[in-house]
Amino acid sequence: MQVVIKPNAAAVAEYGAAIFIRQITQKPNSVLGLATGSTPVALYQQLINAYQNRKLSFSQIKTFNLDEYLGLAAEHPQSYRYFMQQQLFNHLDIKPENTAVPAGSAADPLKACQDYEQQILNAGGIDLQLLGLGRNGHIGFNEPSSGLRSRTRIKTLTKETIADNARFFSADEYQPHLSITMGIGTILDARKVVLLATGESKAAAVTAMIEGPLSASCPASALQLHQNAVVVLDEAAASQLANIDFYRHIEQENEQLLARLGRS
């Protein structure tokens, strides 16, 4: 696991966006795994800017989103499909049929989970997966106790996650307590993973993910098993790490090595 510590949230988004821009430049028909939530928004804006400045094209890109609320139609303002349209897809030259989000309103959600796994396989697997991090260590909607080899499935949200997301719903609006999410095993199948975490509220989860034991109690700790995972943090999110100076030293050495190899 590569740990990168940046001074603030803007620098985290810039670093993460650079990884995606490099991936798309090197492989224009990449398969990308995408995430919702407040953390990726600044990264998505940088991708939009790169497209609008004609530095990137998404015409051959395929995307798969991590999760969706069960019971919300795609056009619902709180659905993750709606979020992705507003925050990214509507501003790119990506083909609508190449943007996949779990079918939250499917008549048979169990079958929809199996179909989603098959769609990812048919696309050749995910080249680069973007992740955020929940305060309880969840990735996607894989809450604590999720199996570390789990696949796309229906998950019950914890009370903590429901409370965290309540700000997006009005008091009289239905808020789902179930979701469809890629499993941890599905996420680990991606060839590269980039996780972004910012803010002091994520510091405990960050420490459990990086320095804690591999455990279903912190689903994100499964990234310790991934051979190509990059965790990008701001100072606040990294503030509880015991080995923070060591991670900075490693990153400095990595940058010097890449510079010598002409890959910086």
Show which residues are catalytic. 67, 136, 138, 143
Answer whether 13's CB lies under 8 Å from 20's CB: no
DSSP 21-38: HHHHHH-TT-EEEE--SS
Stated as kind and residue range, the H or E segment containing 65 is strand 62-65
* CA-to-CA separations, 116 to 99, 125, 168, 184, 222, in angstroms, rounded: 12, 12, 26, 14, 21
Whole-number Å distance between alpha carbons of 207 and 78 = 30
Query: How far apart, in whole angstroms, are the C-alpha atoms of residue 69 and residue 253?
Result: 42
**Is the C-alpha dihedral spanning 263, 26, 17, 148 positive or negative?**
negative
State how far the Cα of 203 lies from the Cα of 244, in Å rounded to an integer: 12
Distance CA 71, CA 177 (A): 9
